Structure 1
């Protein structure tokens, strides 16, 4: 698939939601393309001005013109992709040729993982603005819980890319047990 790209240091995994402020002409063009193709655009991170291999296809679910003339959009992450190559057009907008990466399969939560889900519930209660993006949170789906944690945690780009390259949530779950279990033991 060929897809317009938006390089940003925002990490979204399938099911993730975020808001963006759009003001540069090349990204206004990206929004127009995404609105007409009904396929969305690619959200991708970069390291040293090089776009990373893994990204997330997102669709626009809402938009609003702000008083300062900036366009505000709400995006929803649909699926991961692997970037085969990318280029810039004359307007500076990036495009890429990408291959779909299978989404992680939903997994029911088990007894050993309840604290990870409960910690995310608590975080959502402490940050209602962020929680408002998820009117129907799926705290019983361990894959969904792991993805939301990975989006929130302050990880390096190469760590985020590594998690995106995994076939399922198990590496993320193991990592979260280390981080959250250690934090709970310190209390």
Structure 2
């Protein structure tokens, strides 16, 4: 597997998708329509760098994009009734952007170094509540998709990534957690965060 990928189109978003996650998007800007055409023309080799906004960064200097991005593939698309192009992407792996180029139409592309995903880790009993609550969220918001399978919910890394996609946590914190060697720091962080939110909503 090539450790460095070049000329990967970058798609900065306020919403986030991580490995194993699914995201639906509406595409209307000409530069991103071009991006989708070019990515789809590459078949299985076509990847998009789904990036997180850095609110403290500069668009002029390309520092408005955080370094860690999710390499994603387009798994479905449709021409919507409103005239927009709808696409569905699936997160594949984490990569680190090392350089960025800007085309005349404003589409950014980057050189990306593959970054090891968290290793698979079983969800211990101490964190089972995270899986239970995640399933409840999927049932409450069916637009997220069907309730995750028991196999997915048994993997701590998968559960953590879905929570990081869903929760309004700052992109900087997400970047720091994704740089960790395993999902364990994220597990502790999420366990504390969700427990705190439940305490606030149900103070008794």
Q: Return the TM-score normalized by structure 1.
A: 0.93
Q: Does 1:40 align with 2:47?
A: yes
Distance 1:144 1:109 in 2: 9
Q: Which residue of 2 aligns with 1:54?
A: 68
Indicate if the aligned counterparts of 1:17 and 1:77 stay in contact, CA closer than 8 A.
yes
Distance 1:135 1:146 in 2: 13
Distance 2:103 2:198 in 1: 50
User: Once the 2 structures are TM-superposed, how far is the Cα of residue 184 of structure 1 from its aligned partner?
Assistant: 4.2
Alignment gaps of 5+ in structure 1? none
Indicate if the aligned counterparts of 2:52 and 2:65 stay in contact, CA closer than 8 A.
yes
Aligned counterpart in structure 2 of residue 31 of structure 1, from 32, 36, 47: 36
Indicate if the aligned counterparts of 2:131 and 2:153 stay in contact, CA closer than 8 A.
yes
Distance 1:9 1:185 in 2: 28
Distance 2:82 2:125 in 1: 49
Question: Could you give the per-residue CA deviations for residues 59-114 of structure 1, whole angstroms, max 9, x where no partner exists?
Answer: 00100001121100000000010010101011211010010011111111111111
Distance 1:66 1:151 in 2: 25
**CA RMSD after TM alignment:** 1.6
User: Once the 2 structures are TM-superposed, how far is the Cα of residue 129 of structure 1 from its aligned partner?
Assistant: 1.4
Q: Matched residue pairs, number?
A: 186
Alignment gaps of 5+ in structure 2? none
Distance 1:67 1:93 in 2: 26
Distance 1:22 1:100 in 2: 26
